[in-house]
Amino acid sequence: MLVRQRETGSLGLAAAAGALVGGAVLVRYSAVALLAPALWAIARTTRTTGTTRTRTSGALRLLACLGGFSLLLLPLPFWWSACFGSWLPPAYGGRWVITAASPWNILFGPVHGLFLFHPALLCAAVGLAFLPPLPVGREGMGEGGRGGEGLAWRTTAAFWFLSVAVLHGWWSESANPGGYGQRFLIDALPALALGFAGWLRPGRCRPLRIAFALAATLAGGVFFFAAVGGLVTPPAPWPWPQRLDEYTVLLRHPPGPARLWQALQRSSFLLRALAPR
């Protein structure tokens, strides 16, 4: 939707993009972070008419987006008042503190740091930050030379990723000790897809980049399998391992075939259904 909005400069699409973000907030409050990259992309829209490029009013586009966003959220205070007796949203636990430690505390933190427990995502982040952009949309080869529009979208995707990371890095419960890994950054995954595209695109050292991505994906799968299969004992009172050093037990005492089979049975719904104990 944002791609077409940038190509046409449509106020209706700007409002629809805002409404889409508003709908996401109705499902998950933290999706409000997506409003920032949406406004960023819409503010930089270029409308093409024939062979002439003109700039539409940035203020009108932003107001249309904010209007669409606000329209869907208008019933929320009444819903909160009816269900919880307050015009403000109910507490989700923890506290919010604006700190310069974000987003590094959620990306590289020793407890469930995103790039530590999900190392393949580091490839996507590097793709967003450093690798040549892919052409995006019908105008992907214009605006600033070859791949200019792709560069604009790479910037928007990086802003999207960092907006989500910064927001959750301000939350005291962002480490998610009661779950596995950094599920609170799910809102950032669509933006990282563009980074993966840049990481895997043809070019210099592509076989090495593909091998690194596969190895990182395998490492993340091993971490998860070891945790859900019970090969790593989580620290009390948490149900999941919290730090990577807790996985060193796999190196000190490698599990044998019998234990691996037991772990597979514990972690697989299919095996549990086919071979119940």
Residue 140 has pLDDT above 80, yes or no: no
* Mean pLDDT of all residues in 166-174: 91
DSSP letters, 193-237, are: HHHHHHHHSSSTTHHHHHHHHHHHHHHHHHHHHHHHTTSSPPPTT
Strands 52-54 and 47-49: antiparallel
In the chain, the largest separation of any two C-alpha atoms, in whole Å, equals: 71
**Residue 139: closest CA among 131, 124, 150, 129:** 150
Which of 31-40, 139-148, 149-158 reaches the highest mean pLDDT? 31-40
Bridge partners for 171 per DSSP: 96
Give the per-residue pLDDT at 89: 79
User: What confidence tier does 183 reach under pLDDT thresholds 50, 70, 90?
Assistant: confident
Give the least confident one: 9-18, 87-96, 129-138, 253-262.
129-138
**In this predicted structure, which of 82-86, 133-137, 255-259 has the lowest mean pLDDT?**
133-137
Q: Tokens for 143, please give them.
A: 């605006």
**Residue 270: per-residue pLDDT:** 84
Q: Can you tell me the distance from the alpha carbon of 260 to that of 105, in angstroms, rounded to the nearest whole number?
A: 33
| pLDDT for the residue 235 | 92
* Residue 92 main-chain phi, psi, to 5 deg: -105, 5
DSSP 276: -
Under the banding of pLDDT at 50, 70 and 90, the label for residue 84 is confident
Mean pLDDT, the chain, as a whole number?
Answer: 84
Q: What is the mean predicted confidence (pLDDT) over 147-170?
A: 83
Segment 160-185 shows an average pLDDT of 90
Q: Of 2-11, 175-184, 220-229, which one has max mean pLDDT?
A: 220-229
Residue carrying the six token digits 């052409």 = 135
Percent of the chain past pLDDT 90, that is, above it, reads 42
Q: What is the pLDDT of residue 254?
A: 92
The encoded tokens of residue 99 equal 């700190």
Of the pLDDT bands very low, low, confident and very high (cuts 50, 70, 90), residue 201 is: confident
- Mean pLDDT check: name the lowest of 39-48, 84-93, 108-117: 39-48
Q: Above 60 in pLDDT, residue 133?
A: no
Is residue 139 very low, low, confident or very high in pLDDT (cuts 50, 70, 90)? Answer: very low
Domains of the chain, residue spans: 1-90
Question: Does pLDDT of 248 surpass 90?
Answer: yes
pLDDT at 30: 87
Compute CA distances 141 → 6, 64, 134, 137, 146, whole Å.
Answer: 14, 28, 9, 9, 5
| Mean pLDDT to the nearest integer, 14-36 | 90
**pTM of the predicted model, to two decimals?**
0.81
Q: If you write DSSP's letter for every residue of 59-80 in order, what string do you get?
A: HHHHHHHHHHHHHHHTTHHHHH
